[in-house]
Amino acid sequence: MSESAITLISFVATLMVFSYLLGDLPLVSSLYRTAVYIFIGMSAAFTLVATYEGVILPYLADIQDANTSWTALGNQADVTIFVTALLFGLLLLLKPIASLSWLTNSILAVLIVVGAATAVVGALTGTLFPLLHAITVVPEDITADFTALVNTVLIFLGTMSGLFYFQFQLRQGDDDSAGRSRVGYAVRSLGKIFVVTTLGAIYATTMLSMLTIFVERVGFLMRFGV
Amino acid sequence: MRRMGIAFSASVAFAVGVLTLISLLLGDHPELYGNVAGAEIWAGLLALPAAVLLRLVTLTVAVTIVIGIVNLLHVHAGRGLRRQFYSIVMIASFAFTMYWYLTRQGDTSLLAAVQVPIESALAALLFLSMAQGGARVMKKRADIWGLLFVTVMVIVLLGTLPLPALAPLREWSDWLMDIPVGAGARAILLGIALGTVVAGVRILLGQDRSYRG
């Protein structure tokens, strides 16, 4: 496709999406919906291609080569895993049949628990341990620099009180003195300050990213219009 | 029969989950076994179940994605036959993209001409919605937390402007991003991690059986 064709199609596609700003006018509103449906169709096609080329094709290529193996079990085991995965995928289609629900539920259970176990290990080794280590590390020059001391204390207080704020399970009749005492309320309020500040900053930085894209798109329309 | 089925799937979930967890935590880490003879071989053997199960799950998920897309096409083909315009557009868009991929492998100009501009324009529209939402916060929630949210938002936004008059505000904005926001982000991340661990353990123990559908 030539450069000018790409620019022309991009221009039309951008205008079709921006037609949303004109509101619910007849014909104009259908332009936006058409653009969205084109987007869905293309996304589905690209997802299919990416899944095939990125996951299925490399596995197929590997199992055809007797010298390569994903695991220490050898090429024959790889073939078995591949066939089992295909079988699992196809058996999941039997979900609407109630009498076979034990089978489809078991396959779903394997998928979910392997994901859950991976998530648990990832959360422990990738987030919990490194972050807990980071908030307990004291800077070397802490006694020399008063600002560094205040900042370190603030980060520790902010993290701990923010974590305390996430207390969203309170059963009726529970003896939750920590949650209902004045100290608990004060710590939660402090945590809320840090969490709301963070959410405000995240909102602002996301807005900035979107603004950059918005400016780029409007600039593109103006350039092409000129 | 139904109870037997539930017990079977719960047993499968527990066995596979614990096996994966142990394999991921202890596999491929011979240093954990100290001076035990053949530590490397044991660590390699323990890593095997997780490797096999992760391959199996990755492939199964890939197959289910393909099945999901086939289902999407099936639903829209049915609507297309009833002459619903947008479904015909969707099917045509899918078919054209596949045709493009099969006949011009490696040519990404379709992506640059249609997919990227539509994605960018949708993200640009999101900016307007976010600006409108930010302005509405004080209208909907006129309390101290709404005020704090908007104040932080304004400081961070103004802090990015390259105006000399706003230099002191930029320092404030930088400090805000480094210390309070850093602390809040760590708290949120730790909360997510703890929530993931709790939810994961509940699934592994069979208390949460979302796979029953």
- pLDDT digit string (tens) for B179-211? 999 999 988 988 888 888 888 778 777 777 666
* Average pLDDT estimate for B73-83: 91
Lowest mean pLDDT among A29-33, A195-199, B159-163, B208-212: B208-212
Q: B77 at the A interface (CB within 8 A)?
A: no
Q: How many CB pairs under 8 A join A and B?
A: 385
* Average pLDDT estimate for B71-82: 92
* Closest in A33, A48, A123 to B69, CB measured: A48
**Binary contact (B120, A33; C-beta < 8 A):** no
At A142, the pLDDT band (50, 70, 90 cuts) reads low
Quote the percentage of chain B above a pLDDT of 90. 31
* Average pLDDT estimate for B157-184: 88
- pLDDT digit string (tens) for B34-43? 777 777 788 8
Please give, rounded to a whole number of angstroms, the shortest distance from the CA of A173 to a CA of chain B: 23
Q: Does the pLDDT of residue A1 top 90, yes or no?
A: no
Residue A119: its chain B contacts at CB < 8 A?
A: 196, 199-200
Q: Which of A71, A110, A125, A154 to mutate to test the interface with B (most CBs of B within 10 A)?
A: A110
Q: Does the pLDDT of residue A168 top 60, yes or no?
A: no
At B76, the pLDDT band (50, 70, 90 cuts) reads very high
* Closest in A36, A51, A216 to B120, CB measured: A216
**Coil, strand, or helix at residue A31?**
helix
Say what the pLDDT of residue A40 is: 95
- pLDDT digit string (tens) for A73-128? 677 788 888 899 989 988 888 877 878 777 888 888 888 889 888 888 888 888 77
ipTM: 0.80
- Note whether A138 and A156 are within 8 A (CB): no
Say what the pLDDT of residue A64 is: 79
Kindly give, in sequence order, each residue whose CB lies less than 8 Å from that of residue A63, ignoring residues fewer than 6 positions away.
Answer: A75, A78, A79, A82
Closest by alpha carbon to A102, among B149, B3, B67?
Answer: B3
**In terms of C-beta density within 10 A (0-12 exposed, 13-18 middle, 19 or more buried), how is residue A183 classed?**
exposed
- pLDDT digit string (tens) for B92-147? 999 999 999 888 877 888 888 888 999 999 999 999 888 888 888 878 778 899 89
The CA distance from B184 to B189, in Å, is 9
Q: Does the pLDDT of residue A38 top 90, yes or no?
A: yes
Say what the pLDDT of residue A27 is: 79
Say what the pLDDT of residue B13 is: 83
Residues B24, B30, B36, B39, Cα dihedral to 10°: 90
**In terms of C-beta density within 10 A (0-12 exposed, 13-18 middle, 19 or more buried), how is residue A7 classed?**
middle
Residue A98: its chain B contacts at CB < 8 A?
A: none
At B30, the pLDDT band (50, 70, 90 cuts) reads confident
* Closest in A39, A114, A208 to B54, CB measured: A114
The first and second tokens of residue A40, run together, are: 């869905």
Mean pLDDT, chain A, as a whole number? 83
Mean pLDDT, chain B, as a whole number? 86
The first and second tokens of residue A4, run together, are: 């000018």
Q: In this structure, is the dihedral angle defined by the CA atoms of residues B213, B198, A121 and A135, taken in order, positive or negative?
A: positive
Say what the pLDDT of residue A37 is: 95
Say what the pLDDT of residue B62 is: 92
Closest by alpha carbon to A18, among A225, A206, A202?
Answer: A225
Lowest mean pLDDT among A60-64, A139-143, B66-70, B135-139: A139-143
